[in-house]
């Protein structure tokens, strides 16, 4: 599902003394069937923006288009129930949403709400659980007896089981061990390719952005300050540092080599960097 934001603004608790601006004058386009990364400093409005993508909040200004659905400030939340069936949103710390007696039931909750029968929901739930790497023996366990990382996987499975066309991930790997992070990121990238999903990923880890993203949107102070391919975003190192964003390791390394007189094509991921170096040194391309 292609996504377009046109001068979107959102104020929390509009018309109350506690009104705070979450977004203002946000413009961007996220291509359909691609992997888009959303980056930006903490409090820059990323989570606020993704809640709009699932119709959980209605913009207080501007216009949003998600596939055929147009959302403007006068849109009623009810009108968006149908769209929500095609959107999967994994919140920051999604394990807080677990509530059922068993892992399987919890994962079945979403598909059932969107009109699947119990058998269909169970099949979808089992598939999703295996996809995130939860073995069958956990199906009948209480979600509250699991470790933090396992709870995270179950919560993510709960969203995948809805088989969304648009998958939104709000810092899905925050607080997991490095191996677990890597595993989940590979999973999201694989799902995106296999199912041609539109993926929107919020992350603070630039390595993942460099490695997986087709498109990047940069937030700052409640608005979008830059948008483009990873190569374009990571090109201006001074600008990134000014925005307190990290530069991918491969890029840092290549830039250091450049000061020593070794020139390489723009590279963002380590494997591509290694290949180029091997070639310059006269060796064969390394095996991934």
Partner 1 sequence: MFTNMIIGRYMPGNSWIHRLDARTKLILSVAFIFVVFFANNVAGYVVAIAFTLLSILLTGLGVGVFIRGVRPLMFLMFITTLLQLFFVQTGDVLWHWAFLTITTDGVTNSIAVFVRFMLIIMFSTILTLTTQPLAVADAMESLLQPLKKVGFPVAELALMLSIALRFVPTLMDEAESIMNAQRARGVEFNEGNIISRIKAFVPLLIPLFINAIKRAIELGDAMEARGYRGGDNRTKYRVLTWQKQDTIAVIGFIVFTVLLIATKWL
Ligand X SMILES: Nc1ncnc2c1ncn2[C@@H]1O[C@H](COP(=O)(O)OP(=O)(O)OP(=O)(O)O)[C@@H](O)[C@H]1O
Applying CB under 8 A, the residues found at the interface with partner 1 are: 12-13, 16-18, 51, 54, 56, 78, 81, 84-85, 87-89, 91, 94, 96-99, 109-110, 112-114, 144, 158-159, 162
Minimum separation from the CB atom of position 50 to Mg ion (A): 8
CB closer to partner 1, 26 vs 83 = 83
CB closer to partner 1, 4 vs 97 = 97
- For tokens 């998600």, name the residue: 66
Q: What is the dihedral of CA 228, 12, 75, 61, to 10 degrees?
A: -60
Minimum separation from the CB atom of position 23 to partner 1 (A): 16
Bridge partner residues of 87 (DSSP):
166
Per-residue binding letters, 28-67, with Mg ion (x by CB under 5 A): -------------------x--------------------
Site for ligand X in 43-82 (CB under 6 A): 43-48
Site for ligand X in 79-108 (CB under 6 A): 92
Size of interface with Mg ion, in residues (CB under 5 A): 1
157: three-class secondary structure by DSSP: helix
How far, CA to CA in Å, does 184 sit from each of 3, 156, 180, 208, 281?
Answer: 24, 10, 6, 11, 34
Q: Give Cβ neighbours of residue 199 (< 8 Å, ≥ 6 apart).
A: 34, 35, 36, 166, 167, 168, 169, 188, 191, 192
- The Cα–Cα gap between 55 and 52 comes to 5
Q: Give the residue closest to ligand X by C-beta.
A: 47
């Amino acid at each position: 599902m292609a996504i377009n934001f046109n001068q979107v603004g959102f104020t929390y608790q509009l018309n109350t003394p506690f009104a705070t601006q979450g977004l203002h004058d946000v413009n961007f386009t996220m291509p359909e069937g691609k992997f888009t990364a959303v980056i930006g400093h903490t409090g820059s409005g990323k989570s606020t923006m993704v809640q709009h993508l699932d119709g959980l909040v209605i913009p207080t200004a501007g216009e949003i288009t998600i596939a055929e659905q147009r959302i403007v400030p006068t849109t009623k939340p009810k009108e968006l129930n149908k769209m929500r069936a095609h959107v999967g949103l994994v919140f920051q710390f999604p394990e807080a949403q677990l509530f059922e007696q068993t892992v399987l039931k919890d994962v079945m909750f979403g598909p059932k709400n969107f009109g699947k029968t119990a058998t269909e929901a169970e099949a979808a739930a089992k598939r999703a659980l295996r996809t995130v790497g939860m073995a069958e023996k956990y199906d009948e366990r209480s979600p509250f007896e699991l470790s933090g990382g396992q709870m995270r996987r179950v919560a993510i499975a709960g969203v995948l089981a809805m088989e969304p066309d648009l998958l939104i991930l709000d810092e899905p790997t925050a607080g997991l061990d490095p191996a677990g992070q890597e595993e989940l990121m590979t999973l999201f990238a694989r799902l995106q390719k296999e199912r041609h999903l539109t993926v929107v990923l919020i992350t603070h880890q630039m390595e993942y952005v460099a490695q997986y993203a087709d498109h990047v949107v940069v937030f700052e102070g409640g608005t979008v300050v830059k948008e483009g391919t990873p190569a374009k975003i990571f090109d201006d190192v001074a600008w990134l540092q000014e925005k307190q964003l990290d530069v991918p390791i491969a890029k840092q390394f290549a830039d250091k080599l450049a000061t020593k007189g070794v020139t390489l094509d723009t590279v963002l991921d380590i494997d591509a960097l290694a290949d180029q170096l091997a070639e310059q040194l006269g060796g064969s391309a390394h095996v991934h």
